[in-house]
Structure 1
Amino acid sequence: MAQPKRSRRWVKWAERILIVLLLLVGLALIFNSQLESYWIRWQSQQKVTKISPQEVRKGEQQKGNYDYKNVQAVSENAILESEKARKTNAIGSIQIPSVKINLPIFKGLNSENLTIGAGTMKPNQKLGTGNYALAGHHMQDPNVLFSPLSKAKRGQVVKITDGKHTYRYRIIKTKVVPETDVSVLNDVPNQKLLTLVTCASGNPGETDRLIVTGRLIE
């Protein structure tokens, strides 16, 4: 009878060890996610507060990548990628005070740059003319990158600066579309628009896109 008791005792110990290991793994994942979010926010703020007109001129001279299919989700290498992005020349910044967005803008859709800011979606687009389109990531942390766009509402003001001039747009509508609907990027005759694009949620594999549209007011 002693052998079965020892076996049951070992099984109980094994179960306890497994529970502890699972708990530690869960805590590590939570901590890592929080650390990643903190780091991305810190890198974004470090970058956006130091953008100069000289940097913008250099950024505008760079070639941008506009192949949407090459854009990757923020990976486990986000800390390293964000450090590289901070050393890349930005072309401006975007602020939406009402939802606490304050991010650098980069030319094109480079996956590294999108770990700390927004990217232009069309070549040769210019602020204050046509339909100026920007894309950014929607993270599971609702306060990081373009995630706060889920709280954007009509009437809120978006400020975009290129280092010399500031352009103010007022949000006129928000909507969700399939990722295949690129018509939202088209210019509209006689209208000066801003289009902000992000995933409809921070869930992996999200196939819908949240579109926030603004109209130039100043």
Structure 2
Amino acid sequence: MRKKVLAAFLVVLGILILFSGRLGGKILQKQAKDITQEVREVSAQQMQANDKLTFPEKAESQRFDFKNVRPISNEETWQSIWSRIRLGNRLGTAPLNPSFSGTSTPTSAATTAPLTDDEAKKNIQEFTDSYVIGLLKIPSIDLELGIFKGVLNDNLWVGAGTMRQDQVMGERNYPLAGHKMGYYGVLFNRVPSLPLGAMLYITDKQKIYAYKLYANEAMTAQDIHVIDDAVAEKAGGPVLTLVTCYDLRDENSRSILHAHLVQTTPYSAQAFQNLP
């Protein structure tokens, strides 16, 4: 009898784990899509202003810390989800301003008292208006995400983050980081599987920069040279670099992708939407 009860318990537990994983993935995917939709509404002028933001030395070292690009546990995933109930409590009670210098910690109030739809939308708009500087699009894997300034977790949960304070879109080496996640199609999950020759696009809503993938390698967290401008010098022109986790079971592994700049064109919403 005890064996039957134990077997039944294990079956139920397995179903719950499977369901929670799928549910978590769907929620995270919806979060990213909703934020991306808000990003599409941000003006080119606002993106320019955000890109010029500077931060205190301590805040800058945290905001552009390469070590922030790491595997995310299931516990952290659900903490993220619950701290963003109704998409409004995105940063809990942490201030939404450029001087914010650390990863937010959800409070009980933030996780138990969801905002109204109007409050949630206002909070999301405030976040995107403060930090978004562009859009990343990879049509072959149906990926479109906002580009945010820095690699704080609050940025990487919903988009891609810049890895250096001085990087300029379409010039030298432009490195972006993203969470791979364990859910198919969520954030950078499919990025490591991109084949050479794949097209990647970024925009600041002034120009569209088209890049062609020429390198896809597994490295370690110590290989921080991949975000330096020497990569572009070696490649003979501007490069887009994507950084994410390679093996979710190994915190030290990284997937590094490099793409050549092949074309720069004027931006229009229709042109960006119809990229091949």
TM-score for the superposition, normalised by structure 2? 0.68
CA contact (8 A) 2:203 2:209 kept: yes
Say which structure is richer in helix: 2
- Return the match for 1:215 from 249, 256, 260: 260
- Return the match for 2:33 from 14, 21, 45: 45
1:113 Cα offset (Å): 1.9
Note the 1:36-115 alignment, pairs <5 A. 36-51=24-39, 52-53=42-43, 55-57=46-48, 59-60=50-51, 61=53, 63=55, 65-70=63-68, 73-74=71-72, 75=76, 76-81=78-83, 83=87, 84=90, 87=124, 88-89=127-128, 90-115=132-157
CA contact (8 A) 1:100 1:148 kept: no
Q: SS at the partner of 2:241? A: strand
Q: Distance in 1 between matches of 2:83 and 2:239?
A: 31
CA contact (8 A) 2:71 2:250 kept: no
Percent identity, aligned pairs only, is 29
Structure (1 or 2) with the larger CA radius of gyration = 1
Task: Count residues with an aligned counterpart.
Answer: 205
- Is 1:122 the equivalent of 2:164? yes
Give every structure 1 segment of 4 or more consecutive aligned residues whose post-TM-superposition deviation is greater than 6 Å. none
Q: Distance in 2 between matches of 1:62 and 1:36?
A: 34
C-alpha RMSD of the superposition:
2.1
Note the 1:130-209 alignment, pairs <5 A. 130-187=172-229, 188-189=232-233, 190-201=236-247, 203-209=248-254
1:155 Cα offset (Å): 1.4
The one-letter code matched in structure 2 to 1:197 is V
Please give the per-residue CA displacement for 1:141-161, whole angstroms capped at 9, x wherever unaligned: 231111111221221111111
